Amino acid sequence: MRHLLSAADLSRDEAVQILDTAAQMAATQSREIKKLPTLRGRTVINLFFEDSTRTRISFETAAKRLSADVINFSAKGSSVSKGESLKDTALTLAAMGADAVVIRHQSSGAPHTLAHAGWTGCAVVNAGDGTHQHPTQALLDAYTLRRHLAGPGDVAGRDLAGLHVAIVGDVLHSRVARSNVQLLTTLGARVTLVAPPTLVPVGVHTWPCEVSYHLDDVLAGGPDAVMMLRVQRERMAGGGGGFFPSPLEYTRGYGLDARRVATLPEHAIVMHPGPMNRGLEISADAADGPRAVIVEQVANGVAVRMAVLYLLLAGGGATRPTSPDDETRIPA
């Protein structure tokens, strides 16, 4: 694994290896001294062209816990058409000797271009591009699902075979949904997308999942997890707008509230990638209730991103297991 650009790039074994590595990373994070020397002397640049507090902090924390030097480069507002181009930014970062670039960009495909245009030799991690992909979000979601639902016992080496996950909401604008459909099905789970027809992309019939317009019907089927998507009002101005008549009507049809949570199987968990529109796609009762693992998703995000940075920069390839005498190995 040279870059992490899309969940579609990961095989089942590679994905499981990342989850297993993340579990080892997570184990180190319960210690008093959380910092590992693994990436000492390496430089990771967080290149964020789009607002994101939680993802940037998560990557920053992950890199720092691995002792990497972290540079945050917030290019928000430096619009590509008016300010510095992505190419010049990339050349600048390469000149500074970065080992990895974590990029978030409003344009779908920008990380792909950064990785393949020949502008830089850095490892590129996609931290969310437009409405395309957000692979580390899918990995942390898979990690969270596996921890809760793949048991009993040690889940290391396991995938998500047999689990049924409902992904609910603004699928059209969601890179989280695209990444999760690919990764969760790679790991053996069954995925059902639930959304009003206006928020389902044309072409979805080729995706390896089912699509429903009726949340209550899907919940009645007893999914093991319900993943709520954020209604991305900031992206809805494009494409003509008017995707649903009113927030109230959306909430009635597709919002997760206490009543709907109560219909879930006992073991089912409620997820949300954040930031949440409380009262729109998820009620406070559902978000803060005992089924919700939303805060845990954030914590797992750090472990998963540690694993990704480790495997990209120190692991020498995701398919090669770390040997016990590797000086950069994770302390047991």
Interaction site with other proteins (CB under 8 A): 80-81, 85-87, 105-110, 112-113, 116-117, 129-133, 175, 178, 201-207, 238-240
Comparing CB distances to other proteins, the nearer of 74 and 322 is 74
Closer Cβ to other proteins, 33 or 202, answer by number: 202
Q: How far is the CB of 314 from other proteins (least distance, A)?
A: 28
Secondary-structure breakdown of the chain: helix, strand, coil percentages, each rounded to the nearest 5: 40, 15, 45
Peptide bond into 265 cis (omega under 30): no
Residues taking part in catalysis? 54-55, 82, 104, 134
* Residue with smaller CB distance to other proteins, 119 or 244: 119
φ, ψ dihedrals at 42, nearest 5° = -95, 150
Return the structure tokens found at 267. 């073991």
Nearer to other proteins, 153 or 242 (CB): 242
Phi and psi dihedrals of 10, rounded to 5? -95, 130
Closer residue to other proteins (CB): 178 or 305: 178
Least distance between other proteins and beta carbon 47 (Å): 13
* CB of residue 225 to other proteins, shortest distance in Å: 23
Return d(Cα 58, Cα 304) in angstroms, integer.
10
For residue 305, with 0-12 CB atoms within 10 Å meaning exposed, 13-18 middle and 19 or more buried, which class applies?
A: buried
* Element (DSSP H or E) covering residue 24: helix 12-28
Question: Shortest distance, CB of residue 213 to other proteins, whole angstroms?
Answer: 17
Q: What is the H or E stretch that residue 270 is in?
A: strand 269-271
Angular region, 78: left φ>0, alpha ψ -120 to 50, beta rest: beta
- Closest by Cα among 224, 265, 298 to 58: 298
Q: What are phi and psi of 46, to 5 degrees?
A: -95, 110
The two tokens of residue 145 are 């699902």
In angstroms, give the least distance from the CB of 107 to other proteins: 4
Closest CB 128 distance from other proteins, rounded Å: 10
Cα–Cα distance measured from residue 173 to residue 235, given in angstroms and rounded to the nearest whole number: 7
Q: Which is nearer to other proteins, 52 or 300 (CB)?
A: 52
